[in-house]
Amino acid sequence: MNINDVILKTVSKGAVLIILTFGIYLFLSGHNQPGGGFIGGLVIASAFVLMFLSYDSETVSDALPIDFKKLSAFGVLLAMLSGIAPMFFGGAFLAQSFGYFNLPIFGKTELATVTVFEAGIALTVVGVVVNIILSISEDE
């Protein structure tokens, strides 16, 4: 199918950027404020879906050569590995820790291992949602 809607394409170019930024913001603000991997992942996935809707799937697949099935599997793996890691340091499964570091530009920043876990969840959500939409759209 050949979509050639100039308004839709132009608006979505800008909108995708805003949605992705918002998604990453939600993801990072996750562990102390409303947000987190699941919600951030959903928002990021909606940006991908918007791209698939406004351009055809070949164009987007060429620009983003990602196998979303493997992306979701990788997300689960990442979340699980972040749960396993503390087991090697004498902690319980899924135990988390955090610390404050002085980073060059950001100054004093809190870094938490839970972010790795949340990143896994976000990748899984993105993979699954986009995969569902793609499976439906590719169905003849």
Which of 20/112 has CB closer to other proteins? 112
Q: Of 58, 35, 11, 54, give the one whose Cα is nearest residue 125.
A: 35
State the nearest-atom distance from the C-beta of 72 to other proteins, in Å: 9
* Alpha-carbon torsion angle 8, 10, 65, 136, nearest 10: -10
Mask of contacts with other proteins, 56-95, x by CB under 8 A?
-------------xx--x--xx--x--xx--x---xxxxx
State the nearest-atom distance from the C-beta of 17 to other proteins, in Å: 31
Instruction: Assign 108 to helix, strand or coil.
Output: strand
Rounded to whole angstroms, the Cα distance separating 92 from 98 reads 15
State the nearest-atom distance from the C-beta of 65 to other proteins, in Å: 16
Mask of contacts with other proteins, 9-48, x by CB under 8 A?
----------------------------------------
Question: Taking CB under 8 A as the rule, does residue 112 contact other proteins?
Answer: no
Rounded to whole angstroms, the Cα distance separating 20 from 46 reads 9
State the nearest-atom distance from the C-beta of 13 to other proteins, in Å: 33
SS (H, E, C) 10-27: HHHHHHHHHHHHHHHHHH
Q: What's the sign of the alpha-carbon dihedral 101, 41, 81, 83?
A: positive
Instruction: Note the residues at the interface with other proteins (CB under 8 A).
Output: 69-70, 73, 76-77, 80, 83-84, 87, 91-96
